[in-house]
Amino acid sequence: MANPLKKLAGQTAVYGLSTIVGRLLNYFLIPLYTRVFLPSEIGVFTEFYAYVSFLVIILTYGMETALFNFSRKEEHSDKVYSTALISLFVSTLVFLVPAFFFTRSIAEIVKHPSHPEYITWIALIVALDAFTSIPFARLRLNNKAARFATIKIINIGANIGFNLFFIAFCKPAYENPASHFHEFAVQVYNPSIGVGYIFLSNLIASMVALVLLSPDIFRVKMKFDPALWKKMMIYALPLLIAGLAGMTNETGDRIMLKYLLPKDIAESQVGIYGACYRISIIMTIFIQTFRYAAEPFFFSHAKASDSRTIYADVMKYFVIICSIIFLGTMLNLSWIQYFVGPRFRVGLGVVPILLLANLFLGIFFNLSIWYKLSGETRFGAYLAIYGAVVTLILNFLWIPGTGFFGGYMGSAWATLICYFSMMVISYVIGQRKYYINYDVSKILGYLFISLTLYSLGHYIQTGNLFLSLVLKNGLFLIFLLLVYRMERNHLRLIISRQV
């Protein structure tokens, strides 16, 4: 049997290829967005994608994890897949009907009555992304990481391509009558759509993904098993609650900022916060790629005799990599900040807070394996609901205020406190329910050292940007060398392990 940690690393690398390349390319759209659109317009974009996050959770209702869980239990995994797919197809149609019939009413409710087309496009994006989540999950389940990565890269490429076409090509050509492409741009570009071209590009890309996944969708004979569906729903519904509560923690603050801040600054503050949040994208990318590979990995190794040792090793190296990402980003923030336009850099103070918050969220995801493997998914719901309550209370208290905890800074601190406390509570309960001998001393040690080196970096102010970067990255190198020295022997053992 192949080395399981090597396999996990390999799968993470392949999933990471699509996610990292795609996210980084998307990341390079941020300089475009923050220089073409005003903070208030970026606020609209940020707000609508917060709605998307919630809606995708609702429309997938935990079926991805249910697919992983029941595919290992049921004799015929095709039946599990087709039952999940048909379930999502029906629920997606049920969602789309009212979304289309009440488009204008919904636009008025979210205070964008002049752009009902945004509602239509967002509804279609959500529907397509929810439905295709099951074919994508099956690719992960069957270890078809290369096909998964290929489709994801094409999907992301289409999104970026149409963003560049509409915003970087058509918009300037439309605004410049002397341009050779002005007449063409007049035919295809509508300036009143504005930031909506971001949504339209995403919609086209989602359609491309559906077409590419169609062979995987129709390859299996469709058969709906009501009894199996009922069992899957019982398993999945607590995950839906956990997902909604978790998304409240992750994106609810952007919606709350809009409604809790004064109207004249709300949209621009949401835009600044959303743009600076994306500087922490590297941490988010790693956690997402890890999750793609880790969830099926955890389930497939649940019966292995050394599974808990493997899970402990995974946790330690996960924290090491996240610490490296945190330290590398913060010590290089002096040039990374230029990825957002000058009007948005006032919000850079949220970056270290959000990086740490996402690090704790990643640890919480690692810890969540205890309730997923034991079938006690209700604990996931309890923990997520607790986090949502913390997020809502702290945002309500801090957003309307001023100073260090006011506005979007309050949202960032609320996110950090929420994820940290969820992580601690999950660890305490999990060690009683499903004990894993995590190397807590080393994990805390690496976190402490990375935070200490980051703090030392604040004192490096030479007046010369290049020299400061060299000295700060010297601290980064010290951390890398320390990790290598501490882990080299253990890594050799892991690499040589065959089972």
Please give the share of the chain, as a percent, with pLDDT higher than 90. 46
pLDDT band at 59 (very low <50, low <70, confident <90, very high): very high
149-159: pLDDT as tens digits: 889 889 988 99
Angle at 68 between CA 10 and CA 382, to 5 degrees: 110
The boundaries of the domain holding residue 343 are 4-496
Answer yes or no: is pLDDT of 165 > 90.
Answer: yes
Q: What is the DSSP string of 23-69?
A: HHHHHTHHHHHHHHS-HHHHHHHHHHHHHHHHHHHHHHTTHHHHHHH
Which of these ranges, 11-15, 251-255, 446-450, 458-462, has the smallest mean pLDDT?
11-15
How much is the pLDDT for 178? 92
How much is the pLDDT for 401? 82
Answer yes or no: is pLDDT of 60 > 70.
Answer: yes
Candidate ranges 126-135, 279-288, 342-351; pick with highest mean pLDDT: 126-135
Alpha carbon distance 90, 78 (integer Å): 18
Alpha carbon distance 144, 215 (integer Å): 14
Which residue's structure tokens are 């945190």? 326
Angle at 364 between CA 295 and CA 432, to 5 degrees: 95
Which of these ranges, 67-81, 401-415, 472-486, has the smallest mean pLDDT?
67-81
How much is the pLDDT for 27? 67
How much is the pLDDT for 196? 94
Sign of CA dihedral 372, 374, 378, 381: negative
pLDDT band at 191 (very low <50, low <70, confident <90, very high): very high
Please measure the distance between the N-terminal and C-terminal CA atoms of the chain and give it in whole angstroms: 6
Answer yes or no: is pLDDT of 5 > 70.
Answer: no
Q: What is the DSSP string of 377-391?
A: THHHHHHHHHHHHHH
Which of these ranges, 38-52, 65-79, 205-219, has the smallest mean pLDDT?
65-79
How much is the pLDDT for 1? 45
More confident residue, 80 or 380: 80
How much is the pLDDT for 498? 46
Alpha carbon distance 299, 297 (integer Å): 5
pLDDT band at 314 (very low <50, low <70, confident <90, very high): confident
Burial of 21 (0-12, 13-18, 19+ CB in 10 A): middle
Output the CA–CA distances (angstroms, integers) from residue 126 to 48, 54, 104, 119, in the order listed.
11, 9, 18, 11
How much is the pLDDT for 309? 85
pLDDT band at 19 (very low <50, low <70, confident <90, very high): low
Output the CA–CA distances (angstroms, integers) from residue 427 to 234, 287, 318, 430, 475, in the order listed.
25, 18, 16, 5, 31
The answer to whether the CB of 418 falls within 8 A of the CB of 391 is: yes
Alpha carbon distance 438, 428 (integer Å): 12
pLDDT band at 162 (very low <50, low <70, confident <90, very high): very high
DSSP letter at 181?
T
Alpha carbon distance 152, 420 (integer Å): 31
How much is the pLDDT for 17? 60
pTM, to two decimals: 0.74
Mean pLDDT in residue range 201-225: 91
How much is the pLDDT for 499? 44
How much is the pLDDT for 371? 83
How much is the pLDDT for 21? 63
pLDDT band at 381 (very low <50, low <70, confident <90, very high): confident
| Overall domain count for the chain | 1
Q: Token digits for 328?
A: 């590398």
Spacing of C-alpha 438 from chain mean position: 25
